[in-house]
Amino acid sequence: MRPRLPHTVTASALAVSLTVAAAFPAAAAATPSAARSGAAATWGGTEAQRAQPSWLQQRAQLQRLARKLVAVGAPGVIVRVDDGRGRPVEIVAQAPWTRRDHLLKAGDEFRMGSNTKTMTATLVLQLVAEGRLALTDPVEKWLPGKVPNGGAITLRMLLNHTSGLFDYTEDAAVRPSILGTDRRRWTPAKLLAVGVKHDPLFAPGTKWSYSNTNYAAIGAVLERVTGTSLADLVRDRIVRPLGLHHTYYATDSTWRGPHAHGYEPDAARMPPGVPAEFRRFAGARHHGHVDVSANDPGWGGAAGAVVSTTRDWSRFSTALLSGKLLPAAQLAQLRTTVPVDPRQPDGPGYGLGIQTGTTPCGTFWGHDGGLPGYLTVGVADRTGGRTATVLIATESWSEFGTDPKIAKAAQALQTSVICAMFGKPVPAAAHGG
């Protein structure tokens, strides 16, 4: 929410990767097999049982951790894990005070935030496969005069965040929209114009720095090349072919189906660590919180405006990583990563709209997203045969690091979700209690 769509617990790198790495401080550098053999499991039973937790064990563990997260302050949690064995685990936990707004269900729609970038990158790669775009195209080719030094910035640099462009969500002009107090309609071109008003952070291609302006530029390119809106591109090229009945690119604040309500603390309960300019959200108030569900996510644009459900997102992830949406050559480009931290060249990496990280339970691919009221993580294995999605119905705590209790409980849940996705027990060193 601190206007950086994907950053959650940490301010310097990708939340999923670093959360999991922090949860395995001693084992993160070990191979998965070494970690499993050297750490005690938390599921109980025989050694063979611990090697592959049962559906009931997975569900009980995740249910306990989701309820604990709600107990320490999260208004709601939805979890879906499919370990490829035929019966996904779906978990819902909800604070009692939120039930008067909506009874949370596993199939509810919610705002995906920066997970949108994976869909946006998929659209680009589809056009690359059709010969209509090339990853080596300079942005100047498609948006002449719109991006300073655009002749040196390629579409690949935009997609993998190596362009050096300033993040438009750090500009005060966008802040009222983030808070829900300004209902103006943002187009990719307008968001791009905000971002490029600022000096670049570094020369193109020399470093990595997450910037939503990259995807505003990509959104403008997509609309220019196709003559079609982003909402229609998402619908026609991804949603309809895959039968995603509750997934869409939001063009205003309305929802199309039952949806999870997202909340942030009201001004009186906002922790002192939150800057003054981010303490007052628009929305109905009760129980010390603001319901931000009716606020327009349009300021997220191609970087963060998609709405989906855990079930739909699992189907999308499977289709993408199994090669249903992209030919093999473009799927390989999607998975070609750059390190997000130069001090860890073999650490977490960012591809084209997708991130990856290695844990003792396995190497995951996916993204995360955060905007007011909605913190989401969507991950899968390399081929999309295993998937998992987590929604936490509040987000400011992660942007500003203001609630250690929620952070600890969220980390424990995310760690267990990834291990459950791989059908493995959580090593004792990472057990959230």
Three-class HEC string of 102-136: CCCCCCCEEECHHHHHHHHHHHHHHHHHCCCCCCC
Query: pTM of the full predicted structure?
Result: 0.90
Model confidence band, residue 34 (pLDDT cutoffs 50, 70, 90):
very low
- pLDDT tens digits along 244-258: 999 999 999 999 999
Could you give the domains of the chain? 15-430 (3.40.710.10)
- Does position 290 have pLDDT exceeding 50, yes or no? yes
Model confidence band, residue 430 (pLDDT cutoffs 50, 70, 90):
low
Half-sphere exposure in the Cβ direction for 302 (13 Å, CA): 32
pLDDT at res. 11: 29
The mean pLDDT value for 347-353 works out to 96
CB atoms within 10 A of CB 290: 25
For the chain, give the percent of residues with pLDDT over 70: 87
The mean pLDDT value for 274-294 works out to 95
- Does position 174 have pLDDT exceeding 80, yes or no? yes
Q: Comparing C-alpha atoms, which of 169, 124, 138 is closest to residue 299?
A: 169
Distance CA 18, CA 3 (A): 19
Give the list of residues 6+ apart from residue 93 with CB closer than 8 angstroms, or none.
63, 66, 67, 69, 70, 74, 76, 77, 104
pLDDT at res. 99: 97
- The average confidence (pLDDT) of the chain is 89
57, two tokens: 């064990």
pLDDT at res. 86: 86
**Of residues 50 and 384, more confidently modeled:** 384
